[in-house]
Amino acid sequence: MKKVLIGIIGFVLWSLVSVQWYVCGVKGLCDKDAVDANDTAKIMETVVSDDKAKDDVSVAKIEDSIAVEEVKQEPVVKEKTAVKFSIEKAVIFFPFAKTKAHISKKQKDSFRKLAQEINASDATLILTGCADTVGSVKKNMEVGQKRAEWLKRVFVSLGLDANRIITKTEGKSEVIRGSDGSVDMANSRRVEIIVKQNN
């Protein structure tokens, strides 16, 4: 009888140990409240939010890589369009042996407008002084330069930036000739005005 009782007690103890092992070791429910339906919902929400965060990170990485690829694309070079000036070429004529000329009000208004256009662009105004064939080469070079410098002062007085003006002289090397080949003295005494676009 004692042996049977000991066997029953041993079986009960073994059963308790086995249940405890199963509950604590396998299910991990020892010292914890039983997981109810609400806890299960919370766990599912956590898993879903973690997965969503991972997806957001993945999407962000993809968007970053696309942005980097867009940056690496060849830059589009825009061609500069030529600026249209109210005057691109003009001539001022001078009296014989004079380094000053008469400029009408209409011409001054035109030159003032041109000065504003050049100041608003990257263009340069080139003034080339010329002379007739009377006198020495040296003298006519000086006369041509003085004519160009005088016209430069006129443009500066009308608002053109002096740094935008280049003056030079051709003296009597660029005279104007008529149809018969003779020198046109009156039209040779001049300053040529040319707008040069620097693009």
Q: Which two three-digit tokens encode residue 24? A: 């604590």
42 and 131 assigned to the same domain = no
- Rounded CA separation 133/190 (Å): 13
Least confident of 4-13, 107-116, 146-155: 4-13
> What number of other Cβ atoms are within 10 A of residue 189's Cβ?
28
- Rounded CA separation 128/147 (Å): 8
Residue 11 domain-assigned (yes or no): no
Residue 70 domain-assigned (yes or no): no
Task: For 123, list phi and psi in degrees, rounded to 5.
Answer: -80, 165
140 and 107 assigned to the same domain = yes
Mean pLDDT across the stretch 101-115?
96
pLDDT tier at 148, thresholds 50, 70, 90 = very high
For CA atoms 187, 125, 154, 137, the dihedral sign is negative
- Rounded CA separation 193/110 (Å): 13
Q: CB under 8 Å to 132, separation ≥6 — which residues?
A: 96, 140, 172, 175, 183, 185, 186, 188, 189
Helix (H, G, I), strand (E, B) or coil at 170: strand
Q: What is the DSSP letter of 183?
A: B
Domain count, the chain: 2
**Across 13-27, 53-67, 128-142, which has the greatest mean pLDDT?**
128-142
Q: Which of residues 185 and 46 earns the better pLDDT score?
A: 185
pTM of the entire structure? 0.60
Domain that holds residue 54: 36-65
- pLDDT at residue 48, rounded to an integer: 46
- Rounded CA separation 199/185 (Å): 36
- pLDDT at residue 73, rounded to an integer: 59
Q: CB under 8 Å to 83, separation ≥6 — which residues?
A: 117, 121, 123, 197
* Residue range 41-53, pLDDT digits in tens: 554 455 445 555 5
- Rounded CA separation 167/148 (Å): 6
Residue 16 domain-assigned (yes or no): no
Q: Which residues, listed in sequence order, are joined to residue 36 by a DSSP beta bridge? A: none
49 and 127 assigned to the same domain = no
- pLDDT at residue 34, rounded to an integer: 43
* Residue range 71-87, pLDDT digits in tens: 555 665 555 566 789 99
Residue 149's closest CA among 96, 88, 92? 92
Residue 8 domain-assigned (yes or no): no
Residue 18 domain-assigned (yes or no): no
